[in-house]
Structure formats: structure tokens, C-alpha cells
Chains A and B, each alone.
Chain A
């Protein structure tokens, strides 16, 4: 497939990792965004790495999905990435070879999680396809926008290969219903056995207690705490909960053991780009700013007026986290009556 027919007419494969499957689960917000992004580029089919429930299939149809490919013969969640990439390559070649008038996929869209990027990378080698990661915006011809060097540069990049692989960050494209429903016909594709022999197997898995809050990288609002909380995340969590926000943390707070490392925002943690980022008791070291400075609106509360976080804050409060955050939380509750 060439660049010409990638323009608005490509067949797009959207990869939905980890489901939707199981007990009547529905699509996540990030998955709906991936499907909306796919529709910008052409006709969307989906490859779900887990079985698809009937409810989720109906939802995929509503989102304009033409066909849904599901794995058969092995549970991909029992392995890290290698078999997933091999299976996706087989999905692409099975569709390309069906001779039924279907063109092969010109664009493959995955999520930008570490697993999504790893699958994209390995699939790229298998298909001889260029991979653009960390995509935050798309043009209809497949040109991708991304921000690099910790958000300090905006880059337009594209795959120059016949097939393009893109990994899309959450909150980059608005989820929206499709103009026309798709058939969402389910087609099982066997997981290639050879890929299982040389794969990393998950031998134990322990779920951590769910916080009930939105997932950090997907959240519209993030409230993060740092050293200035002195280990008491109470005010941070209180404000997060009235805002319906995810809780994040600086590396100092995570290293101190105050919160789990998977809440860490920054160069060695998560990159977030929410509508609103509240940094509470965070000085704003460059490694932290690398993970959050593309947020639309930044609010900082810190008792030290010289904190570098104030250089990038749209609204900064020089003050005590333990006074300002609870007052703000109470005020929001009051205004909502």
C-alpha cells in the first residue's frame, strides 16, 4: 500500500491490548480514542489480544469496526510481547492473503504503553514497517505529531515504509461515535506456536489493590505530591477525589516509599499530558518536568517561592500544601452545592 491510498482510504488495524474481554467488560476510554484515531485514517478493523465479549463486540460495531481478529490456541497474556507481535504479523498476512478484495493494512495503531511500544517495535521488524511512537496528533495522510526531548520539541514524523505503525498517547484524539456502524465480525487467528517456544512466560501475577481512581496516563486531571507532603498524601488524595483525578508523585516521594513507584511521573516514570496537572509540594526538577510539562494547564503549590516548578506553572501558590489543598477541595465541594 502506498502513501497515496493511505490518505483517507487506508485499511487501519487498531490493536486493543488486554481485551476487551472477560466478564462483559467494555472498551476503555483509551481504546475508544485509538478507534477514533484509526477512523481519521481510514477503515478500521481491530485486533484484540484477548477474547472479546458479546457486549464489547457490539461496542466495537458501534465504533465503526469492520472486522475483529482474536487470538486462538494460546493465551497471549501468559507471555510478554514476543508472541503478541508474531500473532499480529499473522493477522496482517492472513488478511492480506485472503484474496477477497481486502487490501492489507496500510496503518497499524497501538497504544503507547510500554507493552504497546514493544509490540510495535517487534511487529515493525517482522513487517519491515516504520514505527512512530509517542504520537500526540495525526494528519489524515498518516503524518504524526510527537513531542520529544521531554516535551521541549514538537516533531512531525512519518513512516516511509508501505505499512506505517503508530503508537498513540492517551488524550491525543477525542473519542467519538462513528458515523456508521461496522459489522465487527469476529475472526479467530491462531497464535503461531513457534513464537511460544522462545518467549518470556509470566509465571506469577499479583494484582495490586485498585485505587478506584482513573489510570494515571489516561486521566484528564492529575494531582501529584512530592517531598513537600512529608509523606502524608491525604491532602493530595482529597483534592484528587473531588476533581475525579488520578494521583501521581515525584520520584522523591516514590523513592521515599510514600507511594507506589507506578505513580511516579517523570523521565523514569510515567509521562502524562492531562488537561490539568496539579503539582503539590514538588520542586520541579527537570526529570519531573520531563513527565508533565505538556499538560494543558499546570498548577503548582509549594512553600518555596524559588521552586523551578513555578517557571512553568499557569497558576502558582506559594503556600503550605496542608492548608491550600484542603481549602481548595472544600471550596470545590461547596460550589457544587
Chain B
């Protein structure tokens, strides 16, 4: 086909939302019991579908999984390689700890630039931990890319990306020229699982580790020092006390209305 793609997929090692998650007093998240973010699997699948259709790695296409974080974050890359990514890039440096979205996007933008010409940066619709949704937008701004976000489907023809997005009260078709940043929702596809062959193949794939020096950044530009926001306090929300539970004996609808009236909700 001649139209090969080089796609960078952002993957994140996040605490499993199935379990209770904890913050320290000043914010940093306890990252034990972490997994590849569920929402990133849709981005990875979208990247693999685009490259598979063009002959995969053998056809000259490339899917690079990119993560930033401590040593454990490499687990998200390993999982991405098992699922089918061609290679991994791990941005890791002690100075990055405590980075907010601004500092994170600065480091990720530098990492993407270090990979040469990239056609698409693909992300999930959000991370399942920070939930700020800022990093993809800030990355697009730093790399001067159009962003096509919340795609429920996407196609690439020639050097044009076209997505469908399903918004509030409106469905849109959006186009932009490549290179572009695209985020996909959980409606975009059904992520594949790693199979035995993929798990074996992953052992031969490369993970490059990039430090701040490799990225050409100073310690003061990232981490808490380079962040533009600060968490002043973090407290667990008081647990909701168990309320009144009744079993319907034919009048539960009326009792429910009594409750709403007592709460001045009707």
C-alpha cells in the first residue's frame, strides 16, 4: 500500500479501580496493585487494527507503547508488547515524581519528539486515576497537533484522519491531516487479549528507557518543581453511612415519596 503508519500509544500503569485506592496526604497516589489502564487497551487495539490493515510490523508499520512512571510502570509496557505493540518507551527519572499534567505533557512531548516522525499519537479517553483529561490536550498543544478526541470509530485514508464522535445531543464527523492526536472511547473496539504467541514474542521486543538527560530536560522543569499546580491537602471522603433499607410490601413507592418529602426533594 505504501502508506505505512508509525503510531505512539500512551499507556499508563494505574491502580486497579476494582480495589480501594489511596492518596497520600499531599496527593501522590499509592500505585501498588496497579495494572495497564483499561481505557488504554482501546487505544492500543485501535493502533493495532490500523497497522494490521497495512501489513503490521512486516509491512513497515510501527506501534510504540509509551509510558512515564517509576520502575513498575514498565509492567504496562510489557503488557502492551504482549498484546502486540512493536516496542516500548519508558520515560523514567526520579525527578519526574509529582509531575502534574503540565509537567507530564512536557516530558511526554519530548519523548515523542525523540522518536522522529510519528503519524499518530493515540490515547484512551481518560486515565482511570488522575481523571483530569488534560494530558492528551496539552500534548497536542506542545506538539502542535490537531486533536481528534473521543472517537467511537476512526479511519485513516492517505494523510487524513477521520473520526466519528458521539457527543451530547450531537453526533459529529471530524477530520484532520496527519500527524494528529486521536483519543478513542470504550465504544471504538473490543480489545484483544495477549495470546501465548504474543507473550513469547514480547520477550524479544525492546523497551527503551529515557531519562531527563535523554529528553533534554532539566529537573526544575518537571516533578513538583516544574508543576503549575499543587495539592494542598487530600482527605478521604467520609464514608456514606448506611441509610434506610426497606423491602417492598406493596407500599414502597409511597414510603419512597415520604422519604423524598422529608428531605425536601419534592
Give the B-binding residues of A (Cβ under 8 A).
80-82, 85, 113-114, 117-122, 124-126, 128-134, 143, 147-161, 198-208, 210, 215-216, 221, 243, 260-262, 267-268, 275-276, 286-287, 290, 293-294, 297-299, 301, 305, 310-320, 323-332, 335
Q: Judge whether B218 is part of the interface by a CB distance below 8 angstroms.
A: no
Question: Nearest-CB distance from A200 to chain B (Å)?
Answer: 4
Query: Which among A298, A305, A331, A335 has the highest number of chain B CB atoms within 10 Å?
Result: A331
A152: B residues at CB distance < 8 A: 20-21, 236-237
Taking a contact as CB atoms under 8 Å apart, the answer to whether A335 and B261 are in contact is yes
Question: Nearest-CB distance from B179 to chain A (Å)?
Answer: 9
Taking a contact as CB atoms under 8 Å apart, the answer to whether B17 and A117 are in contact is no
Given contacts A125-B105, A200-B175, contact A290 B17 (CB under 8 A): yes
Contacting B231 at CB < 8 Å: which of A156, A198, A204? A156
Taking a contact as CB atoms under 8 Å apart, the answer to whether A313 and B243 are in contact is yes
Among the stretches B48-56, B76-84, B127-135, B195-203, the one at the interface with A is B127-135
Q: Judge whether B115 is part of the interface by a CB distance below 8 angstroms.
A: no
B146: A residues at CB distance < 8 A: 80, 82, 198-200
Taking a contact as CB atoms under 8 Å apart, the answer to whether B168 and A200 are in contact is no
Given contacts A198-B144, A331-B254, contact A315 B244 (CB under 8 A): yes
Q: What are 22 A-B pairs with beta-carbon distances under 8 A?
A: A81-B147, A114-B149, A117-B137, A124-B102, A124-B228, A152-B236, A155-B231, A155-B233, A156-B234, A205-B173, A221-B265, A276-B265, A290-B17, A312-B240, A314-B263, A315-B259, A318-B247, A324-B248, A328-B254, A328-B256, A332-B260, A335-B261
Q: Which 10 residue pairs spanning A and B have beta carbons closest together? A: A327-B253, A319-B248, A130-B228, A121-B137, A314-B243, A328-B253, A200-B176, A204-B173, A121-B134, A130-B229
A205: B residues at CB distance < 8 A: 170-173
Nearest CB in chain A to that of B182: its residue:
A200
Give the A-binding residues of B (Cβ under 8 A).
17-18, 20-21, 23, 27, 29, 39, 100-102, 105, 125-126, 128-138, 140-142, 144-150, 152, 162, 166-177, 180, 185-187, 227-237, 240, 242-248, 251-257, 259-261, 263, 265-266
Taking a contact as CB atoms under 8 Å apart, the answer to whether A118 and B147 are in contact is yes
A276 to B252, CA, bound (A): 18
Interface residues of B, dominant DSSP: mixed
Taking a contact as CB atoms under 8 Å apart, the answer to whether B265 and A331 are in contact is no
Taking a contact as CB atoms under 8 Å apart, the answer to whether B23 and A268 are in contact is no
Taking a contact as CB atoms under 8 Å apart, the answer to whether A199 and B176 are in contact is yes
Given contacts A118-B149, A202-B174, A332-B266, contact A160 B17 (CB under 8 A): no
A155: B residues at CB distance < 8 A: 23, 27, 231, 233-235
Contacting A327 at CB < 8 Å: which of B138, B168, B231, B252? B252
Contacting B17 at CB < 8 Å: which of A134, A147, A286, A317? A286
A132: B residues at CB distance < 8 A: 229
A323 to B249, CA, bound (A): 11
Question: Nearest-CB distance from A142 to chain B (Å)?
Answer: 11
Contacting A153 at CB < 8 Å: which of B145, B232, B234? B234
B149: A residues at CB distance < 8 A: 80-81, 114, 118
Taking a contact as CB atoms under 8 Å apart, the answer to whether B253 and A124 are in contact is no
Instruction: Knowing that A200-B175, A202-B173 touch, tell me 11 more A-B residue pairs with CB under 8 angstroms.
Output: A121-B101, A121-B136, A128-B228, A131-B228, A154-B234, A198-B144, A262-B169, A275-B265, A301-B256, A310-B242, A315-B246
Taking a contact as CB atoms under 8 Å apart, the answer to whether A268 and B17 are in contact is no
Taking a contact as CB atoms under 8 Å apart, the answer to whether B185 and A268 are in contact is yes
A329 to B254, CA, bound (A): 9
A331 to B251, CA, bound (A): 10
Taking a contact as CB atoms under 8 Å apart, the answer to whether B147 and A160 are in contact is no
Taking a contact as CB atoms under 8 Å apart, the answer to whether A160 and B229 are in contact is yes
A216: B residues at CB distance < 8 A: 168
Taking a contact as CB atoms under 8 Å apart, the answer to whether A318 and B134 are in contact is no
Nearest CB in chain B to that of A270: its residue:
B168
Taking a contact as CB atoms under 8 Å apart, the answer to whether B170 and A131 are in contact is no
Nearest CB in chain B to that of A317: its residue:
B252
Taking a contact as CB atoms under 8 Å apart, the answer to whether B248 and A157 are in contact is no
Question: Nearest-CB distance from B165 to chain A (Å)?
Answer: 9
A206 to B150, CA, bound (A): 16
Taking a contact as CB atoms under 8 Å apart, the answer to whether A124 and B134 are in contact is yes
Taking a contact as CB atoms under 8 Å apart, the answer to whether A134 and B237 are in contact is no
B29: A residues at CB distance < 8 A: 149
A303 to B236, CA, bound (A): 31
Taking a contact as CB atoms under 8 Å apart, the answer to whether A316 and B176 are in contact is no
Taking a contact as CB atoms under 8 Å apart, the answer to whether A268 and B39 are in contact is yes
Contacting A200 at CB < 8 Å: which of B102, B180, B185, B243? B180
Question: Nearest-CB distance from A2 to chain B (Å)?
Answer: 15
Given contacts A117-B133, A121-B101, A199-B146, contact A317 B256 (CB under 8 A): yes
Nearest CB in chain A to that of B164: its residue:
A204
Taking a contact as CB atoms under 8 Å apart, the answer to whether A208 and B170 are in contact is yes
